[in-house]
Amino acid sequence: MATIDKDQYIVTQEPFYQAQADEVELYTAAFDARLPVMVKGPTGCGKSRFIEYMAWKLGKPLITVACNEDMTASDLVGRYLLDAGGTRWLDGPLTVAARIGAICYLDEVVEARQDTTVVIHPLTDHRRQLPLDKKGELVDAHPDFQLVISYNPGYQSLMKDLKQSTKQRFVAFDFDYPEAELEAGIIAKETGIDIAEAAKLVKIGETARNLKGHGLDEGISTRLLVYAAQLINRGIEARAACRMALVRPITDDADIRSTLDHAIEAVFA
């Protein structure tokens, strides 16, 4: 069997990550105990960046899988492929991670169907094993293997939620948008925009976040604030950048758009 080059999954450059509280320490302890980790929070608040940063800091390979509803257990675990030489087994990303001792990050795991999520169960308890049923192989996870999932509690319906039997296999972090000063600092550091301008973007973000549950399903993410700053950096006028990056993507409701457009005018008056 071909050996897998684990170096290709190593995060070589330090990702910029601004800690919000003691999450770096907590994660390190969870990793040392090889506990499976769940990162909860709204979209674009820094969950994926945090995991990239931790993988870099711990010097462990990182394998990220974006989950979706069409995903099957085989997409995670692996499958037989037909080629000129006959059939050949190809490990899926979860299997690769278990073999090489990577951090396996299943992004938006609730998007996957429940019959897909149960394949992670034997990896998350004392067994730390992954059965490849079709291949008839039982993979013992490498001692460094760790499973991490992300999850946006805002989107969950009863139909689409993790089962308690899955949830109770993880320790969890509650992520949220950073508080104002930290968030402005993040935008400034990430894009090079000046801090006063970044603080104005954060103000608009706050207006939208206050509308959550009053016409908006979710506030403006840190990710979108970073997008607005990138447009401003390219010479786009601030108000136009904000409308394009902060308002148009998140709602088609005329009233909400006009409320946000007004906030933009007020902040950049």
Q: Which stretches of the chain bind Mg ion, using CB under 5 A?
A: 48
Positions in the binding site for ligand ADP (CB under 6 A):
16-18, 41, 43-49, 178, 186, 190, 222-223, 226
* 92 binding partner (options ligand ADP, Mg ion, none; Cβ < 5 to 8 Å by kind): none
Pairing assessment for the beta strands 171-174 and 137-140 based on DSSP bridges: unpaired
- Residue 30's Cβ-side half-sphere holds a number of Cα atoms within 13 Å equal to 24
Min CB(181)–ligand ADP separation in Å? 13
Tell me the C-alpha distance between 116 and 112, whole Å.
Answer: 6
Is 127 or 160 the residue whose CB approaches Mg ion more closely?
Answer: 160
* 205 binding partner (options Mg ion, ligand ADP, none; Cβ < 5 to 8 Å by kind): none
What is the 8-class DSSP label of residue 20? S
* 191 binding partner (options ligand ADP, Mg ion, none; Cβ < 5 to 8 Å by kind): none
Min CB(186)–ligand ADP separation in Å? 5
* 44 binding partner (options Mg ion, ligand ADP, none; Cβ < 5 to 8 Å by kind): ligand ADP
Min CB(68)–ligand ADP separation in Å? 15
Q: What is the three-class DSSP state of 72?
A: coil
Is 26 or 118 the residue whose CB approaches ligand ADP more closely?
Answer: 26
**List of long-range contacts for 111-114, beta carbons under 8 Å, 24+ apart:** 111/67, 111/68, 111/69, 111/71, 111/160, 112/67, 112/68, 112/69, 112/71, 113/69, 113/71, 113/72, 114/163
* Torsion angle (degrees, nearest 10) of CA 254, 259, 265, 266: 170
**Which residue number places its CB atom closest to Mg ion?**
48
Is 36 or 46 the residue whose CB approaches ligand ADP more closely?
Answer: 46
Min CB(248)–ligand ADP separation in Å? 18
